Amino acid sequence: MASGIEARLTELGIELPEPQLPTVAKILPALVVERTLYVSGQVTTWNGELRYIGKVGREFNLDEGRAAARLSALNVLAQAKQALDGDLDRIARVVNLRGFVNAMPDFTDIPAVVNGASELMIDLFGESGRHTRTAVGVAVMPFDVAIEVEAVFTID
């Protein structure tokens, strides 16, 4: 029988990508410290294939940016699942998300783009998915992806 979060993913028709190891950065993709899980920034990949290459406000509109943020957040969850030995139900609370958006200088809807990640967490975890957040527009991103999302969770 599927766990609560796995059942919720199925109910919402959401599949998680395969978690990827960092290809360039010398970092851990995720780290558990006591009751806190830190997930390093995740870009817009699907099973290792980069997607959403370019800037929001030029190659991508707001809705496409939101979809890119959601994809990055799915990668965050894939890393979290791996770090928690496959058990996303160990996540007690989404504490913080940070979204970095590769945006044109005149594109100012950065928070609305990062909502694609925030809304996924709220859809999956309910009230425990409500979190603090930083949303920043940047001039360039690794691999020229549209967005990167990192997260902090409390765990049981």
Could you read off the pLDDT of 40-54 as tens digits, one per residue? 999 999 999 999 999
Q: Is the pLDDT of residue 2 over 90?
A: no
How would DSSP label each residue in 28-80? -SEEEETTEEEEEEE-SEETTEE--BS-BTTTB-HHHHHHHHHHHHHHHHHHH
Provide the whole-model pTM: 0.97
- Tokens 């049981």 correspond to what residue? 156
Query: What pLDDT, on a 0 to 100 scale, did the predictor assign at position 110?
Result: 98
Q: Is the pLDDT of residue 29 over 60?
A: yes
What does the pLDDT average to over 76-90? Answer: 98
For 87-139, the pLDDT digits (tens) are 999 999 999 999 999 999 999 999 999 999 999 999 999 999 999 999 999 99
Query: What pLDDT, on a 0 to 100 scale, did the predictor assign at position 25?
Result: 86
The pLDDT > 90 percentage for the chain reads 96
Query: What pLDDT, on a 0 to 100 scale, did the predictor assign at position 1?
Result: 45
Q: Which domains does the chain have, with CATH numbers?
A: 4-11+30-155 (3.30.1330.40)
Query: Are the CB atoms for 99 and 69 separated by under 8 Å?
Result: yes
Nearest-angstrom CA–CA distance, 46 and 61: 20
Query: What pLDDT, on a 0 to 100 scale, did the predictor assign at position 3?
Result: 73
Q: In whole angstroms, how far apart are CA 32 and each of 21, 28, 40, 54, 144?
A: 16, 10, 11, 32, 29
